[in-house]
Structure 1
Amino acid sequence: MQWYEMLKEYFPEEEMKTKQHLNTLLAEKDHYYLDSSEQHVLLYAEFKTFIFVDYMYVRGTKRHKGVGKQLIHKLKQKGKPIILEAEPQDPNDADTSKRLRFYSREGFKEADSIQYTKHSLLTNERVNLDILYWDPSENETQLSIYTKMIQMYEEIHTFKEFEHYHDVHPRAHDVIHFVKQEHNLPS
């Protein structure tokens, strides 16, 4: 099975980019990468100061065998903060809980000061997503994560969007909001 079909099999349509959009990113953005095999797909952008995981999928028969952990550790070795979008926990979808537990075990935190409503140009639906991040220095603020999300959104999600969807996404500041100041709470 090809990498794009693997993604389509797993991710909801409203969270997908077209194959043409992804291929354009891979061909024209020198910091957008595909790592795939018969058991996984990882699409990510490596910026100067952070990494954005666009899609990560591990085939069902290979889950719980360390493949996802290996992929995340490969990215962690770059020593940069890692940011990703995740569906919020849904009691009717066990996969959301499993995914969030996996990222929590890997040291990811939720950027609860950031609200993000993704607008799908494929389905015209809006989906609320959580922003998760891993910070090797443990000095990253949520405001800094917000700034990185704005940069990623403008460079990745909206890249040549009209060419691929004959429409445009809302601008970054219309869908990504920094909603509150961080609290220094004891862990």
Structure 2
Amino acid sequence: MNWYEKLNQYFPIEEMKSQQHMELLLSEKGDIYHKDEGPNHVMMYVEMDDFLFIDYLFVSKNARGQGLGKKLLNKLKNKLKPIILEVEPVDYDDTDTEKRLRFYEREGFHHAKSIGYKRRSLATKEITELEILYWSPEEEDEETIFDKMKQTYETIHTYKDEELYGEAYEKVDEVLSFNEDRT
């Protein structure tokens, strides 16, 4: 099974980029978009000058609980830049969502309570609400994280969207919102 199939089996369709999208990012934005792959993991991430964004992190079921996820995160933490990622809200019918959130909390990630993130999936046409988690060596504020998330959305998520999907994703201001009152 190749890296894309592993991701596609684990992540919901509404969260997945197409394989062509990710391969274009790797080839055309290979200076910032990276794939870290091993027999039991796939991690797709963005490295900008002042932050990292984890696009996908998959650890196979037979390797969970052995410290592989922690090791992969530590590799990124050692770069001493804020790390941002998107997660599904906890769904008590899906224990993976709760385990995933607890894992990131144990690793020092904070929930960005003031950042709202809702986007329409081009695959399913459904509105998906995701939560933003972040880790920061310098304790960046949520407004800074918000700006970095907007940059990620515009640079990575919507990269060649019309060419790849036949239509454009929503504009960044329709997808991401910042509300200090939510904290």
Query: Normalised by the shorter chain, which TM-score bucket?
Result: over 0.9
* Aligned counterparts of 1:118 and 1:38: Cα–Cα separation in 2: 32
Match of 2:97, as an amino acid?
T
Q: So what's the TM-score if we normalise by structure 2? A: 0.97
State the 1:26 CA deviation. 0.4
State the 1:121 CA deviation. 1.3
* Aligned counterparts of 2:66 and 2:3: Cα–Cα separation in 1: 20
Q: So what's the TM-score if we normalise by structure 1? A: 0.95
State the 1:122 CA deviation. 1.5
SS of the equivalent of 2:159 reads coil
* Aligned counterparts of 1:41 and 1:52: Cα–Cα separation in 2: 14
SS of the equivalent of 2:132 reads strand
Match of 1:59, as an amino acid?
S
Confirm whether residue 148 of structure 1 aligns to residue 148 of structure 2.
yes
* Aligned counterparts of 1:119 and 1:106: Cα–Cα separation in 2: 30
* Aligned counterparts of 1:6 and 1:126: Cα–Cα separation in 2: 24
* Aligned counterparts of 1:122 and 1:49: Cα–Cα separation in 2: 31
Match of 1:8, as an amino acid?
N
Give 1:157's aligned residue: 157
Residue pairs, 1:21-60, within 5 angstroms: 21-29=21-29, 30-60=31-61
State the 1:160 CA deviation. 0.5
SS of the equivalent of 1:35 reads strand
**Seq. identity, %:** 50
State the 1:118 CA deviation. 2.5
Give 1:115's aligned residue: 116
Structure 2: give runs of 5+ residues left out of the alignment: none
State the 1:14 CA deviation. 0.4
* Aligned counterparts of 2:147 and 2:182: Cα–Cα separation in 1: 15
Give 2:70's aligned residue: 69
Give 1:16's aligned residue: 16
Cα contact 2:119–2:170 (8 A) shared by 1: no
SS of the equivalent of 1:44 reads strand
Cα contact 1:14–1:122 (8 A) shared by 2: yes
Q: Deviations over 1:63-112 (max 9, x none)?
A: 00111001000000000000000011111110011000000000000000
* Aligned counterparts of 2:120 and 2:23: Cα–Cα separation in 1: 20
User: Number of matched residues?
Assistant: 182
State the 1:182 CA deviation. 7.4
SS of the equivalent of 1:152 reads helix
State the 1:38 CA deviation. 1.6
Runs of 4+ aligned residues of structure 1 deviating over 3 Å after TM superposition are none
Confirm whether residue 80 of structure 1 aligns to residue 89 of structure 2.
no
SS of the equivalent of 2:105 reads helix
Match of 1:158, as an amino acid?
T
Cα contact 1:17–1:122 (8 A) shared by 2: no
* Aligned counterparts of 1:104 and 1:88: Cα–Cα separation in 2: 14
Q: Deviations over 1:35-79 (max 9, x none)?
A: 111200000000111000000000000000111001000000000
Residue pairs, 1:101-112, within 5 angstroms: 101-112=102-113
